[in-house]
Structure 1
Amino acid sequence: MTEILILYYSRGGSVAQLARQIARGVEEGGATARLRTVPPVAPVTESAAPPVPEDGAPYVEKRDLAECDGLILGSPTRFGNMAAPLKHFIDTLGAEWVSGTLVGKPAAVFTSTATQHGGQESTLLSMLVPLMHHGMLVVGIPFTEPALNTTRTGGTPYGASHVAGAKDDAPLSDEEKQLARALGKRLAQTAEKLRR
Structure 2
Amino acid sequence: MTQVLVLYYSRSGNTRKLAQQVARGIEAQGVEAVLRTVPELPAYADGKIPAVSPNDPFVTRQDLLDCHGLALGSPVRFGNMAAPLKQFIDSTSGEWLSGALIDKPAAVFGAGSMLHGGQETTLLTMTLPLLHHGMMLVGVPHSERALHTTEGGGSPYGASSVAEPHHPLMADEKQIAKTLGQRLARFAHTFYHHLR
Q: Which residue of 2 aligns with 1:171?
A: 168
Q: Which residue of 2 aligns with 1:117?
A: 116
Q: Which residue of 2 aligns with 1:6?
A: 6
Q: Does 1:38 align with 2:38?
A: yes
Equivalences for residues 42-57 of structure 1 within 5 A: 42-43=42-43, 55-57=54-56
Deviation at 1:102, TM superposition (A): 0.3
Q: State the alpha-carbon separation in 2 of the partners of residues 108 and 185 from structure 1.
A: 11
Q: State the alpha-carbon separation in 1 of the partners of residues 72 and 29 from structure 2.
A: 18
Deviation at 1:171, TM superposition (A): 1.1
Q: Runs (4+) of structure 1 moved beyond 6 Å?
A: none
* Structure 2 residues not aligned, in runs of 5+: 46-51
Given candidates 172, 178, 182, the residue that maps to 1:185 is 182
| Residues 76-95 of structure 1, C-alpha deviations (whole Å, 9 max, x = no match) | 01000000000000111111
Contact 1:163 1:170 in 2 (8 A): no
| Residues 93-147 of structure 1, C-alpha deviations (whole Å, 9 max, x = no match) | 1110000010000000000001011100000000000000000000000000000
Q: State the alpha-carbon separation in 1 of the partners of residues 53 and 168 from structure 2.
A: 23
Identity fraction in percent: 55
Q: State the alpha-carbon separation in 2 of the partners of residues 42 and 112 from structure 1.
A: 22
Q: State the alpha-carbon separation in 2 of the partners of residues 35 and 159 from structure 1.
A: 18
Equivalences for residues 38-77 of structure 1 within 5 A: 38-43=38-43, 55-77=54-76
Q: Which residue of 2 aligns with 1:49?
A: none
CA distance 1:174–1:61, change in 2 (3 Å): same
Aligned partner letter, 2:139: G
Q: State the alpha-carbon separation in 2 of the partners of residues 54 and 182 from structure 1.
A: 27
**TM-score, length basis structure 1:** 0.92
Q: Which residue of 1 aligns with 2:48?
A: none
Aligned partner letter, 2:186: Q
Q: State the alpha-carbon separation in 2 of the partners of residues 122 and 42 from structure 1.
A: 26
Aligned partner letter, 1:118: G
Q: Which residue of 2 aligns with 1:146?
A: 145
| Residues 1-33 of structure 1, C-alpha deviations (whole Å, 9 max, x = no match) | 110000000000000011111110000122000
Contact 1:30 1:189 in 2 (8 A): no
Q: State the alpha-carbon separation in 2 of the partners of residues 43 and 54 from structure 1.
A: 17
Root mean square deviation of aligned Cα: 1.4
Deviation at 1:35, TM superposition (A): 0.2
Deviation at 1:58, TM superposition (A): 0.3
Aligned partner letter, 2:28: E
Deviation at 1:170, TM superposition (A): 2.5
**TM-score, length basis structure 2:** 0.92
Q: Which residue of 2 aligns with 1:86?
A: 85
Q: How many residues align?
A: 187
